[in-house]
Chains A and B, each alone.
Chain A
Amino acid sequence: MNAVEPVPPYLAPGRDLRLDFFRGLALWFIYLDHVPENIVSWITVRNYGFSDATEIFVFISGYTAVIAYSRMMLKDGWLRASFRIYRRVWQLYVAHILLFVAFTAQIAYVSIARDTPQLIEEMQLMGLGQNPYRAILEAALLKFRPVNLDVLPLYIVLLAAFPFALPGLLRWPWAVLLASFGLYVASNHFDWNLPGYPDDKVWFFNPMAWQVIFYCGAVLAVVAPRLEVFDRRRWSTTAVALVYLASAAFVAMSWHYNALERLIPDWLARQIYPIDKTNLDILRLLHFFALAWLTRLVVRRDARFLSWRIFLPIRRCGEQSLQIFCVGTFLAVTAQIIVAHYEESIVSQIFVSLAGLVVMSLFAFAAHRIKHSAPTKVRA
Chain B
Amino acid sequence: MMRWAFAAVVAVTGLWSTGAAAEWQCRAAKDLLDLGNPLEIAKTAVAEERELRVVALGSSSTQGYGASNPQFAYPAQLKMRLEKAMPGVQIHVWNKGVGGQDAAEMVERMKTDVKPEHAHIVVWQVGTNSAIRRDPLTKFAEKLRTGIDIGHSLGANFIMMNLQYVPAVVALPDEEEYAHAMADVAKEKGVALFRRFEIMKSWYNDGMPYAQFVINDGLHLNDFGQKCIAKLLSQSILDAINPRQLTGAAKSAH
Q: Chain A residues in contact with chain B, CB under 8 A? A: 34, 36-37, 39, 42-43, 46-48, 50, 118, 121-122, 125-126, 147, 191, 200-202, 252-258, 261, 266, 269-270, 272-277, 281, 305, 336
Q: Are B71 and A255 in contact (CB under 8 A)?
A: no
Indicate with 1 or 0, residue by residue over B110-132, a CB within 8 angstroms of chain A CB atoms.
00000000000000000000000
Question: CA A299 – CA B62 in complex, angstroms?
Answer: 44
Q: Are B217 and A277 in contact (CB under 8 A)?
A: yes
Question: CA A162 – CA B200 in complex, angstroms?
Answer: 46
Query: A42-B20, A147-B69, A200-B99 given as contacts; is B216 within 8 A of A252 (CB)?
Result: yes
B209 in the interface (beta carbon within 8 A): yes
Q: Are A39 and B17 in contact (CB under 8 A)?
A: yes
Q: Are A202 and B99 in contact (CB under 8 A)?
A: yes
Whole-angstrom distance from the CB of B32 to the nearest CB of chain A?
A: 19
Question: CA A266 – CA B176 in complex, angstroms?
Answer: 14
Q: Are B170 and A269 in contact (CB under 8 A)?
A: yes
Q: Are B218 and A147 in contact (CB under 8 A)?
A: no
Q: Chain B residues in contact with chain A, CB under 8 A? A: 2, 12-13, 16-17, 19-20, 63, 68-71, 73, 76, 80, 95, 97-100, 166-168, 170-173, 204, 207-211, 214, 216-220, 223-224
Q: Are B2 and A255 in contact (CB under 8 A)?
A: no
Q: Are B19 and A269 in contact (CB under 8 A)?
A: no
Query: A43-B13, A147-B69 given as contacts; is B2 within 8 A of A50 (CB)?
Result: no
Whole-angstrom distance from the CB of B230 to the nearest CB of chain A?
A: 14
Task: Please give me the 4 A-B residue pairs with the lowest Cβ-Cβ distance, nearest first.
Answer: A269-B171, A273-B168, A274-B219, A273-B218
**Sample (28) of A-B pairs whose CB atoms are under 8 Å apart:** A37-B224, A39-B17, A42-B16, A43-B13, A47-B16, A122-B70, A122-B71, A125-B71, A125-B95, A126-B70, A191-B100, A201-B63, A253-B19, A255-B209, A255-B210, A256-B209, A257-B19, A257-B209, A258-B208, A258-B210, A261-B167, A261-B210, A266-B170, A273-B167, A273-B219, A275-B216, A277-B217, A336-B69
Determine the chain A residues whose CB is within 8 A of the CB of B170 once the complex forms.
Answer: 266, 269
Determine the chain A residues whose CB is within 8 A of the CB of B63 once the complex forms.
Answer: 200-201
Question: CA A34 – CA B69 in complex, angstroms?
Answer: 10
Other A-B contacts than A34-B68, A122-B71, A191-B100, 8 sampled, CB-CB below 8 A, are A48-B12, A125-B73, A201-B99, A255-B209, A255-B211, A258-B207, A270-B172, A273-B166
Q: Are A121 and B168 in contact (CB under 8 A)?
A: no
Question: CA A254 – CA B99 in complex, angstroms?
Answer: 26
Whole-angstrom distance from the CB of A188 to the nearest CB of chain B?
A: 13
Query: A42-B20, A275-B217, A277-B217 given as contacts; is B71 within 8 A of A258 (CB)?
Result: no
Question: CA A257 – CA B204 in complex, angstroms?
Answer: 10
Whole-angstrom distance from the CB of A143 to the nearest CB of chain B?
A: 15
Q: Are B223 and A37 in contact (CB under 8 A)?
A: yes
Query: A39-B17, A121-B71 given as contacts; is B207 within 8 A of A272 (CB)?
Result: no
Determine the chain B residues whose CB is within 8 A of the CB of A118 once the complex forms.
Answer: 71, 80
Whole-angstrom distance from the CB of B59 to the nearest CB of chain A?
A: 10
Query: A47-B16, A125-B76 given as contacts; is B216 within 8 A of A255 (CB)?
Result: yes
Question: CA A71 – CA B68 in complex, angstroms?
Answer: 41
Q: Are B171 and A273 in contact (CB under 8 A)?
A: yes
Q: Are A147 and B70 in contact (CB under 8 A)?
A: yes
Determine the chain A residues whose CB is within 8 A of the CB of B216 once the complex forms.
Answer: 46, 50, 252, 255, 275
B2 closest partner in A (C-beta): A305
Determine the chain B residues whose CB is within 8 A of the CB of A39 once the complex forms.
Answer: 17
Whole-angstrom distance from the CB of A302 to the nearest CB of chain B?
A: 15
Contact of A256 among B19, B98, B99, B168 (CB under 8 A): B19
Determine the chain B residues whose CB is within 8 A of the CB of A125 once the complex forms.
Answer: 70-71, 73, 76, 95
Question: CA A150 – CA B68 in complex, angstroms?
Answer: 13
Whole-angstrom distance from the CB of B123 to the nearest CB of chain A?
A: 17
Q: Are B223 and A36 in contact (CB under 8 A)?
A: yes
Whole-angstrom distance from the CB of B17 to the nearest CB of chain A?
A: 4
Question: CA A147 – CA B64 in complex, angstroms?
Answer: 11
Determine the chain A residues whose CB is within 8 A of the CB of B211 once the complex forms.
Answer: 255-256
Determine the chain B residues whose CB is within 8 A of the CB of A46 once the complex forms.
Answer: 216
B20 closest partner in A (C-beta): A256
Determine the chain A residues whose CB is within 8 A of the CB of B69 once the complex forms.
Answer: 36, 122, 147, 336
Determine the chain B residues whose CB is within 8 A of the CB of A126 once the complex forms.
Answer: 70
Determine the chain A residues whose CB is within 8 A of the CB of B19 once the complex forms.
Answer: 253, 256-257
Question: CA A39 – CA B16 in complex, angstroms?
Answer: 11
Output the residue of A36, A47, A256, A276 with the most chain B CB within 10 A: A256
Whole-angstrom distance from the CB of B105 to the nearest CB of chain A?
A: 11
A256 closest partner in B (C-beta): B19
Contact of A275 among B207, B209, B218 (CB under 8 A): B218
Question: CA A42 – CA B19 in complex, angstroms?
Answer: 11
Question: CA A148 – CA B172 in complex, angstroms?
Answer: 32
Whole-angstrom distance from the CB of A275 to the nearest CB of chain B?
A: 5
A146 closest partner in B (C-beta): B70
Determine the chain A residues whose CB is within 8 A of the CB of B97 once the complex forms.
Answer: 200
Determine the chain A residues whose CB is within 8 A of the CB of B100 once the complex forms.
Answer: 191
Output the residue of B16, B100, B170 with the most chain A CB within 10 A: B16
